[in-house]
Amino acid sequence: MKNNEKQFEDFVRGIKFDDTPGPSHRNKLEQDLLGILAKQSQRQKIWRMILKTKIAKIAIAAVIIIAVVIGLHLHTGSVRLTTLAFAKMIEAMKEKPWMHIVMESVRGKAEERFEVWISFESQVYASKRSSGQIKYGDGQRHRFYAYEPDTETITISSIFDDEITKGATSVWNFGETWLRQLAKLSTEFTKEIGQYNGRDAKVYMSKMSRNERTYEAMLIMDTERNLPVFGHQKSFDSNGNLIKEKDLYFEYLEEGPASVYDVGVPKDAKVVYLACPSHELADVAAEHDKRRRQLGDFRGVTIFTGGQGQATLTIFEYLASENQRRHGISVGLGNYQSKSLDELVESLVSAGCLPLLAATSKGFPGVVVFPCYEIPLEPTMADYIRDYGVGEWKIVTNDAPELSNQIGCQLKSYSADAVSLHTWWVDPEHDYWVSQFTYELLEPHANLEDGAILKSQCQVVEFGKTGGGCSYPRRIAMRSSGEKDIEEYYGIYLEKITDAKDTDIVFLSKALGALLQFE
Amino acid sequence: MIVSASKLRRIISLDNESKAANDGQLIAEARSDPAAFVQLYRRHYDAIFRYCVHRLFERHIAEDITAEVFLKVVENLHRFKGSKQQFRNWLYKIATNAANDHLRKTARRDGLLKGARQQIGSQIADCRETSEKLAFLREAMFSLKPRYQTIITLRFFENLKLTEIAEVLASNPGTVRSQLARALTKLRKILATDFTV
């Protein structure tokens, strides 16, 4: 056999193939693919958000500030200094009537410009992308405007809760919490005194590595005013090649945009479908929101089994308390993936990977800037009402035994190129958790054969109870049409954040024991 | 500088490994970022194109199939949840299915066989040794089951390990090994030689 292989290898070596790729085909295909991607992005944005792990949205200001201070974040071994410097900067920013940030990024040949205006005083934020997309949130009037240049349409939805009002505070609270986590880590930083535009400035620089990438960041802060004036970030791959570069310019203005038109929306843009949720539905969502806040802050472990049999263990933080203000944030602390559940269990337990996992997860807190592992189902309804609430909302009922005492909140949504139906079944007996969510794209889906309709469903198979008696979804199954296998959150284990340490082997052992029913 | 074929293959293989190492992050970003997708595409285009040429023996068909592969990637990337290594194998899997579909749906296999035979005739007349070998190989390959063709191509042209081939074919390495042995034995018979034509 080996001889056969060797001889065949020699035989093959003597053959000359015309297999050099042709640049013209490669380039043409690249352009074709980019065109298809552009068309898909709108649709995928919606359905990806619903189906799988959801990236929670933090108010845009937090994203930008946190992006800047990613370089600043680890800039000291001293927690006190970090917190103090950051707090002073935040206070100075909040005193300004308007903050204007321009972010210019370059990735390869692709350039993007992103502008944001924020006023804490009038509770307004607005943003404009180089693609022409514009958003304007008016916290006082509870109105959210989104302009899509492709359709030249402004959609207006209601800001359902007082997220913007609170957001101005919670954004910073979140930033501070995050920074405290970061401060636990140690890394090199430098602080230099210099000048920026003729004024005294402090220049913070840091470097960090994560997932085979290296990040370098610089933030220049005006010494006298304690305000950031310029930021610069670079990311490199493992070979040291520059991947992305960003410049951030900060301005502090007396006046800002008074309406969505001031940000650049044409006056003749169509305005479509202002459809506020009914009062009854608003009450359901408010109760749902309230119960989530009561849940508290937890550290959790979940095992997710995919359609191909693969299994992933994830450690996360679920921060729901009033203290955190912004409910429903879950932060990924670490994960461990395996080809099958059996292999996962075997490698974690038999092969002694548990201590390793515990040790490796130590490096994660704070590195995850964006909350990334969301318990599915949870805050999507409120977010949808707030951000995508354009469409027809109604309360629906279903006589099926498993749904008869649940409240169905349904949205028929009209996006630029698709009509879809979203239904959240809220279960009052389980602390108003959404027990089932279905999504239907009401037109044939490209990924499915014979013009079939995409329908996906996410269902809580089993509820658990926290020590405090609150319900939480313990097992969740997700299924999409066209996919044979069910994807399942095999189990979610929560322990109060004050009791559990993610690096604690006892905590991990207990979690695995509870999830997999072994000692 | 002359680099031996085996050394060259090893260099390519190492290069591919280092590329694969960066793919994890890139895959995640490519789901929403066209620039990242382009990077991913450029990283894998050549390998997939070559694989298609080696499977189908014709450049223009290989280009069509390569385009089909990446279109499927665009459509399904958001569903892909595997590791960076699995991503490469996923591409091979899509390419394998597309190549097999092509051969089956267009009933191209018979035509190719006929074409190969005619080519052998003319090329023997030309006495170009490598072309002759290529034509022989093509005829022999197309007479194998598609699965055997895939195994031979992945093993000898793309230098994949048995475990990797097993992953592409959703099989296990033991089965792949025995199928490889059977495929080689069959090839030997078809070529009526000890591979030293």
Q: pLDDT tens for residues B172-193?
A: 788 888 888 888 888 888 776 5
- To the nearest whole number, what is the mean pLDDT of chain A? 67
pLDDT tens per residue across span B112-161: 444 444 433 443 344 345 566 777 788 888 888 888 899 998 988 888 88
- Quote the pLDDT of residue B44: 92
What is the arithmetic mean of pLDDT over A15-26? 84
Q: How far B84 CA sits from the closest chain A CA (Å)?
A: 12
Closest approach of A138 to chain B, Cα-based (Å):
28
The answer to whether the Cβ–Cβ distance between B45 and A17 falls below 8 Å is no
> Residues A242, B35: contact at Cβ < 8 Å?
no
Question: What is the CATH number assigned to the segment(s) B20-106?
Answer: 1.10.1740.10
Distance separating the N- and C-terminal Cα atoms of chain A: 47
Q: In chain A, what are the domains? A: 60-272 (2.50.20.10), 279-516 (2.50.20)
Quick check: pTM over 0.80? no
Instruction: Identify the three-state secondary structure at position B176.
Output: helix
| Chain B hits for A110, Cβ within 8 Å | 34-35
**Which comes out higher in pLDDT, residue B7 or A379?**
A379
* Range from A254-263, A305-314, A375-384, A466-475 that averages highest in pLDDT: A254-263
Chain centre to alpha carbon of residue A432: 23
Distance of CA A222 to the CA centre of its chain: 31
Q: Does A370 touch chain B (CB under 8 A)?
A: no
CA A303 vs CA A15, A40, A451, A489, A493: distances in Å: 49, 30, 34, 6, 9
Whether the CB of B120 is below 8 Å from some CB of chain A: the reply is no
- CB-CB neighbours of A348 under 10 Å: 21
- Cβ of A25 within 8 Å of Cβ of B63? The answer is yes
Cα end-to-end span (Å), chain B? 29
CA dihedral A364, A365, A371, A375 (to 10 degrees): 80
Contacts of A9 in chain B (CB under 8 A): 156
Average of per-residue pLDDT across B91-98: 89
Over residues A400-430, the pLDDT tens digits come to: 877 888 888 887 776 545 677 888 888 888 8
Query: Which CATH number does B144-197 carry?
Result: 1.10.10.10
What ranges do the domains of chain B cover? 20-106, 107-139, 144-197
Closest chain A C-alpha to B80 CA, distance in angstroms? 10
> What pLDDT is stored for residue A384 in this prediction?
53
| A48 part of contact set with chain B, CB < 8 Å | yes
Separation in Å, CA of A7 to nearest CA in chain B: 6
B74 has a chain A CB within 8 A of its CB: yes
pLDDT: which is higher, B69 or B124: B69
Closest partner CB to B38 (pick from A18, A34, A337): A34
The answer to whether residue A44 scores a pLDDT higher than 50 is: no
ipTM metric:
0.76
